Structure 1
């Protein structure tokens, strides 16, 4: 399937990955409608930081993914839907799991139900590597068992299952896209890389972190976005789930020390017990397989970890960007 001139809806367009995806779809020549979370401030999230030229090419739809009527209205006339809207913070899911079911599971149900009724050509449903839990084997391929180690991951497993059931029951032309640990400009402070960088750039010498042992497969956001688009083009991935991964890993501790060396070698790590997840809930190893995506698409990793970190640091180093990050608190 071609992307150029297609009418494309992106849910979660106001967020980290969603805003980058909107920009790349515009560059690909698509007609983009951005589904943003309605709020009384009329904020469009990270889309507010785009250029006037980019914004002029986007149709904004403010709504709530939990509202089936709004979702259906937004999807009318669309060819392709990239569904990224979700609650994603793991610690917040410990004390507010209901909101994760409503947003992630019911929100996905709203998308696939409307897609079935409106005959949408292609649906991309966003999953997460967290559905795999701690690796039982590596690299983690799409056949790896699902392990709900947090209410968040359980809600995403539920959303994946809802989507898959609609493919099997109604032949809905969808793919479940499963990015591993995406990072880059605009990522929220609940993620580890913005947490480390924002503390360092704010002059802190004691960098507060949780467990340093877990490993992650880190993927720069531009590579993630290109993965979404290449998967959308691949008709052979309809009815499938597909990782976007680098087949590499780095521990949180090694990552933190890398950033410390780049930004402030005099800083050191201090363990903050409040940031440590329950032992059975912590995902200790993520190391994804990229075999499927490279077999079915032309996707290749463009950015090394070092290149991605450099671009991310450059973005955070701009005062207007760093200002919105509260480095002195634990962002859940």
Structure 2
């Protein structure tokens, strides 16, 4: 089997690749793994260092918006798992163009290359943010898409394109939609690594608004496990929500992070709320549980402690990134 992973040097993609190279996903045992990554600010060679010497791994530099490069890399692929995307909401608010061209146009380029090249299955990795905001209950996969940020709107567009290539052309497409990921190797612009690294440096953490925005937290390894199940056993044309089962208001998560680092509430800096800030996300992930046997394997308490410890022990990984952000 030849498995192509787009965005395989990014946070979630590199976790998936490392696990696949180590045969932690049985369906891909012995597979040839090809990473296609543009190596922008969040995709880094260091994220693949642990498995870079494997004879089964090939890393290709390229932009998913380049149809020639995409066709070249996807030639002979049996399975594509598509992570590559612009993902940070704040960046999409200040500049949406890259989000549209990468997330929408880039996905279309990949889908067309997969169709033209006879790829057996295309797994499109998406986000719960495409559903919008929900006051109570949880979204099933059939819920209408109501994205509220340029990022989530671009991801919703890519989801619809993926669906269209299945319905129109018969391409075997599976879509996954995850809740908020956390874990090692996450770029320090997202909440948990930003707050942890700020606190480790003795800096305050910027908490938006009243801090009552609620998110469901999913360990990146559990997310990758769910994606592997969807890739191996999911039904063509279907969508699978992947959740973590731990809903927390941002202020409660912040309190846990302060405790983990050993500092007090005086390290919180209240800042004006983000534009269009969705109040609550919550996915119903009973479908992937009942059909494919998915269950989160990391407790949030243990996963968060391990994540904080990783950032404490790996300053050499994140300090250059923080400097690049001007943080």
CA contact (8 A) 1:94 1:151 kept: yes
CA separation in 2, counterparts of 1:38 and 1:277? 28
Match of 2:316 among 295, 311, 320: 320
Aligned 1:195-274 pairs, distance under 5 A: 195-204=194-203, 206-211=204-209, 212-235=211-234, 237-268=235-266, 269-273=268-272
Once residues 208 and 38 of structure 1 are traced to their aligned partners in structure 2, the CA distance between those partners, rounded to angstroms, is 28
User: Aligned-pair distance for 1:193?
Assistant: 0.5
The aligned counterpart of 2:277 is 282
Is this contact kept in 2: 1:215–1:250, CA < 8 A? yes
Match of 1:36 in 2: 37
Q: CA deviation at 1:36?
A: 1.5
Write the mapping of 1:117-196 to structure 2, written as runs, cut at 5 A.
117-135=116-134, 137-196=136-195
The corresponding residue for 2:3 is 8
Q: CA deviation at 1:50?
A: 2.2
Q: CA deviation at 1:134?
A: 0.7
Distance in structure 1 (CA, Å) of the matches to 2:143 and 2:198: 36
Rounded Cα–Cα distance in structure 1 between residues aligned with 2:269 and 2:252: 14
Shift of 1:266: 2.7
CA 1:329/1:213 → structure 2, altered by over 3 Å: closer, same or farther? farther
CA shift, 1:90, in A, is 0.9
Partner of 1:20 in structure 2?
Answer: 15
Q: Is the contact made by 2:128 and 2:282 (CA closer than 8 Å) also made in structure 1?
A: no
- 2:47 corresponds to 1:47: yes
TM-score, normalised by the number of residues in structure 2? 0.91
Distance 1:330 1:264, change over 3 A: farther
Please report the RMSD computed on the Cα atoms of aligned residues, expressed in angstroms: 2.0
Q: Could you say what secondary structure the match of 2:205 adopts?
A: strand
CA distance change for structure 1 residues 136 and 81 in 2, over 3 Å: closer, same or farther?
Answer: same
Contact 1:11 1:83 in 2 (8 A): yes
Which deviations, in whole Å up to 9, do the C-alpha atoms of 1:140-169 show, x marking residues without a partner? 211222112011111111100111011000
Q: Secondary structure at the match of 1:217?
A: strand
Counterparts of 1:8 and 1:72 in 2: how far apart (Å)? Answer: 14
Give the SS at the match of 2:147: coil
Distance 2:52 2:153 in 1: 39
4+ residue runs of structure 1 moved beyond 4 angstroms? 327-331
Report the Cα offset of residue 246 of structure 1.
Answer: 2.5
The answer (yes or no) to whether the contact 2:166–2:172 under 8 Å persists in 1 is yes
Could you tell which deviates more after superposition, 257-266 or 149-158? Answer: 257-266
CA 1:93–1:328 in 2, change beyond 3 Å: closer, same or farther? closer
CA distance in 2, matches of 1:299, 1:64: 32
> 2:323, 2:254 → 1: CA distance?
15
The 1:62/1:98 distance shift into structure 2, 3 A limit, reads same
* Offset, 1:312: 0.6
Q: Could you tell me how far apart the structure 1 residues matched to 2:142 and 2:177 are?
A: 12
Structure 1 residues 296 and 330, CA gap change in structure 2 (3 angstroms): farther
SS in 2 for 1:8: strand
Equivalent residue, structure 2, for 1:114: 113
Residue 298 of structure 2: aligned partner: 303
